[in-house]
Structure 1
Amino acid sequence: MMTYPSPVKAFGNGDWSLPGIANLHSHAFQRAMAGLAEHQTDPADSFWTWREVMYGLAQKFTPELLHAVASQLYVEMLESGYTHVCEFHYLHHEADGRPHANASAMSDVLIQAARETGIGMTLLPVLYMQGGFDGRALNARQARFGHSVDAYLKLLQNLRVHETDNVRIGCALHSLRAVPEAAMREVVAALPDNAPIHIHISEQLPEVEECVALRGARPVAWLLDHAEVNPRWTLVHATHLDDSEIQGVARSGATVAICTTTEGNLGDGLFPFGAYVSAGGAWGVGSDSHISVSPVEELRWLEYGQRLITHRRNVASQAGAPSTGLNLLGATYASAAASTGFPENRAEVILSGDLPTLVGATEENVVDRWIFSGNVPCVREVVVDGVRWVESGRHRNHDSVAAGYNQAIKTLLA
């Protein structure tokens, strides 16, 4: 396990400064369905039945509704301490699959929401071409996700004109089941050398079983054998790994984006954290479906999940680096540049030292107390590129964005 320098800086007034935290995996539109898939639809409810609920909501989104929901989400991220988002975006077209008159309309509103709220963005338009490893066509509710390779590369090219100091355009391959091997190779070969590449992989056991049956290998093993996986790659979830895959990902330098609250909500399973970090693997966190929007909760439940299966405490601590919280947070900082494509962190999060949660905190325990002392919001200010977007715990656009979101939800749920 690596050790990390303390990111904490004390102010004379008792407040504490930390760098901003990167959220490595986001589907912005899914914030609108948080809590709406908790009624049983099948005695064997799973990710696959949840996906049907998600598809139903996804059909209703227009660019205007997506802008409203994404804006609310990004405000919530900033208020919680996330200052950068990797947006894994696949709602490309009209609900019936026809391209919008402006083919990048849905991507454009995400960039607009990021700029208006101040969050840094790595936009990851998704290539989604087939409905499974067997090459079956997309179904009607997946039609708005789909692209040919040529259309997808054209979309990326058109979006790169939006790149600025606070917006990057990367690439997302939805999953091995949704992207044929030849298409993966063609797209990766066409990308700029510095473009981040993200992919869902090994999230669900049925996905692993289908990959073994039809491609003759487990998903991560297959990817390592068929692609030049390196530090520009982020493997999202990678929940189900065998020992050789753990070692292979760690050697590659790729980052695993662990999305603990979503993985728990969907019943995905627990990432093999102990073995992976012992192998020197890089990792970060994401809020994915946004059942929770809190880096504190992602990190806390990453640690708690490991405690539940190992029957011991402070799993992320180590000799010479005893603070569990500092180790967890340090790893998220260490992986951010490779996953986001931003070489430096230009954001600062100020924690309120006068809250009961943090009164009397020291540099050695302030992060532990922030992560493991409950859910009281401790973020007082957030500054991105010199602009104070959050003050006294509230985003400068909190009220106006919330009003737009509330109207969007009424429309979506009507």
Structure 2
Amino acid sequence: MQSIFARHAHTPLGWVIDVRLTIDRGRIASIEPDTVAQSQDQRVDALVPALANLHSHSFQRAMAGMTETRVSGRDSFWSWRKLMYQFVDNLTPEQYEAIAALVFMELLEAGYASVGEFHYVHHQPGGQPYDALSELSNRVFAAADLTGIGLTHLPVLYSYGGAGQAPLSGGQMRFGNDVGRYSELLSECRDTARAYLPSDTSVGIAPHSLRATAPQDLDAVLSLGADSPVHIHIAEQPQEVTDITAWLGQRPVEWLLNACEVDANWCLIHATHMTENETRDLAQSGAVAGLCPITEANLGDGPFNGAAFIGHGGRFGVGSDSNVRIALTEELRMLEYSQRLRDLSRNVMVPEEGSVGASLYLGAASGGARALGRDAGCLRVGALADLMAFDTADVSLCALRPDQFLDGLCFAADGSVVSDVWSAGRHVVTGGRHAEREKIIARYAAAVAALLSAL
């Protein structure tokens, strides 16, 4: 049994003071406000539910800064993707594990307690499977085990090179599976997670996108879900919308909502380009909109239709996607600021009225937990102990009242205010640092040096 004493804690009743919280077998066992600390308690300042990072491609972290030089013509997502394929052609399993461990450590130090790893690099360069079909998923599992992050692993079905069942080519060959081989991969991943990882680990399914699968394959893979999370890229780029409409006769979100029973198990990543009707219908489906504001800005995707979505009761969460910059506070800030820039307005991502920071942070906490199938997202007895503590004495927060703490966290602070993080009760960050930080960074540096020498 662990115990935490917080000077402030945010519960479903709002901010309360002098809170003693206990953890038993990874879950919150008790929450007692207006009490006194005991000698064995871990003392923190402000305690909140930790966010889930609902969308990560960890290997892309090693590319950060490599694609920020303009080339002839207009740079776009598609030119970035070409460079990504060249990069991925040289990754080894050992390098993949080292990069994933760094990302998971950085996520924890940023204040996230869990991650949805949207994992599509499955095979050797050229497309030949490894002896163990789940070799690279096993590397993700090893990185999660080392860092203690809560993992929802999302093996990706990636069968085609583009809309209309175009053949795979180039770097895509490492991603490719038909439904039969994908089913084998999924079974291996589930068996390994069940045998070797903590009980809060889960394995969902992830048809990559409508352009990388086909209607009949999507039907088949959904039968493998067993009520697990279902994640899919959906409408990131205008060209994607155009291509899917030309092939399937409907826009991507429109087609998916009509063709599949989209519900609270689903997370639609980059639901960026939607009509008003699609925005309303997605919100009312119960699915989570998976938003990655820093990556979406970096790739020039465009802003999400946030005000209308939450106005219809929509649920959202955030992810770091390409991991070009891992910063929880900046992710939420970028989400709100993208709305302000588009709408020439202020204080957008809040239904009706109230604190924008609270709406952003608590909305992402709840939606992210739902997207990853984690019983978390708020401080309540029985929930997973996914917790984050931050320092309100920091210069960015010290002038604020408790009801302004989340506004300050979202709009004034950076990751340095994070002091402690627990993932399902595992105390993985203390004093702002992960216990295995030096080892993880040394392994990453060696892996990247070897990778760069092969490019």
Shorter-chain TM-score category?
A: over 0.9
1:56 matched to which residue of 2?
86
Aligned counterparts of 1:151 and 1:140: Cα–Cα separation in 2: 20
Letter in 1 for 2:215: E
1:91-136 superposed Cα distances (whole Å, 9 cap, x missing partner): 1000110000111110011011111101000000000001111211
1:118 matched to which residue of 2?
148
Aligned counterparts of 2:351 and 2:166: Cα–Cα separation in 1: 47
Question: Residue 15 of structure 1: SS of its match in structure 2?
Answer: strand
2:50 matched to which residue of 1?
20
Aligned counterparts of 2:370 and 2:422: Cα–Cα separation in 1: 22
Residue 360 (structure 1) shift = 4.3
Residue 9 (structure 1) shift = 5.3
Q: Report if the CA contact (8 A) 2:397-2:413 is conserved.
A: no
Aligned counterparts of 2:211 and 2:351: Cα–Cα separation in 1: 38
Change in CA separation of 1:328 and 1:266 when aligned onto 2, cut-off 3 Å: same
Residue 11 (structure 1) shift = 5.0
2:76 matched to which residue of 1?
46
Aligned counterparts of 1:374 and 1:355: Cα–Cα separation in 2: 8
What is the 5 A alignment of 1:207-246? 207-246=240-279
Letter in 2 for 1:176: L
Change in CA separation of 1:347 and 1:7 when aligned onto 2, cut-off 3 Å: farther
Between the aligned residues of both structures, percent identity stands at 39
Runs of 5+ consecutive residues of structure 1 not aligned to the other structure: none
What is the 5 A alignment of 1:200-279? 200-279=233-312
1:151 matched to which residue of 2?
181
Aligned counterparts of 1:7 and 1:32: Cα–Cα separation in 2: 40
Letter in 2 for 1:317: V
Q: Which of 88, 100, 104 is 2:130 aligned to?
A: 100
Letter in 2 for 1:186: A
Letter in 2 for 1:187: V
Residue 57 (structure 1) shift = 1.1
Residue 10 (structure 1) shift = 4.5
Count of aligned positions:
409
Q: Give the RMSD, CA atoms, in angstroms.
A: 1.6
Q: Report if the CA contact (8 A) 1:7-1:19 is conserved.
A: no
Q: Which of 163, 169, 187 is 2:203 aligned to?
A: 169
Q: Is 1:405 matched up with 2:444?
A: yes
Residue 165 (structure 1) shift = 1.6
1:2-43 superposed Cα distances (whole Å, 9 cap, x missing partner): xx9466555587810011110010000000001110011232
Change in CA separation of 1:318 and 1:129 when aligned onto 2, cut-off 3 Å: closer
1:337-384 superposed Cα distances (whole Å, 9 cap, x missing partner): 321112233221110133212224332011111111143511011122
Change in CA separation of 1:103 and 1:286 when aligned onto 2, cut-off 3 Å: same
Q: Is 1:335 matched up with 2:382?
A: no
1:263-314 superposed Cα distances (whole Å, 9 cap, x missing partner): 0000000111011111111111011001111111111011111111122211
2:400 matched to which residue of 1?
361
Aligned counterparts of 2:280 and 2:406: Cα–Cα separation in 1: 30
Letter in 1 for 2:357: G
Q: Report if the CA contact (8 A) 2:320-2:326 is conserved.
A: yes
Letter in 1 for 2:58: A
Aligned counterparts of 2:262 and 2:359: Cα–Cα separation in 1: 25
Q: Report if the CA contact (8 A) 2:122-2:174 is conserved.
A: yes
1:209-255 superposed Cα distances (whole Å, 9 cap, x missing partner): 11111111100001111111111010001100001111111121110
Q: Which of 136, 139, 143 is 2:166 aligned to?
A: 136
Residue 166 (structure 1) shift = 2.6
Change in CA separation of 1:135 and 1:387 when aligned onto 2, cut-off 3 Å: closer
Q: Report if the CA contact (8 A) 2:361-2:410 is conserved.
A: no
2:216 matched to which residue of 1?
182
Aligned counterparts of 1:77 and 1:207: Cα–Cα separation in 2: 29
Aligned counterparts of 1:290 and 1:228: Cα–Cα separation in 2: 31
Q: Report if the CA contact (8 A) 2:44-2:390 is conserved.
A: no
1:325 matched to which residue of 2?
357
Q: Report if the CA contact (8 A) 1:201-1:219 is conserved.
A: yes
2:106 matched to which residue of 1?
76
2:323 matched to which residue of 1?
290
Change in CA separation of 1:6 and 1:311 when aligned onto 2, cut-off 3 Å: farther
Q: Which of 420, 427, 430 is 1:388 aligned to?
A: 427
Aligned counterparts of 1:283 and 1:7: Cα–Cα separation in 2: 20
Residue 327 (structure 1) shift = 0.6
Aligned counterparts of 2:14 and 2:172: Cα–Cα separation in 1: 43
Aligned counterparts of 1:191 and 1:259: Cα–Cα separation in 2: 24
Q: Report if the CA contact (8 A) 1:93-1:145 is conserved.
A: yes
Letter in 1 for 2:252: P
Question: Residue 377 of structure 1: SS of its match in structure 2?
Answer: helix
Question: Residue 342 of structure 1: SS of its match in structure 2?
Answer: coil
Q: Report if the CA contact (8 A) 2:283-2:312 is conserved.
A: yes
So what's the TM-score if we normalise by structure 1?
0.95
2:62 matched to which residue of 1?
32
Change in CA separation of 1:336 and 1:8 when aligned onto 2, cut-off 3 Å: farther
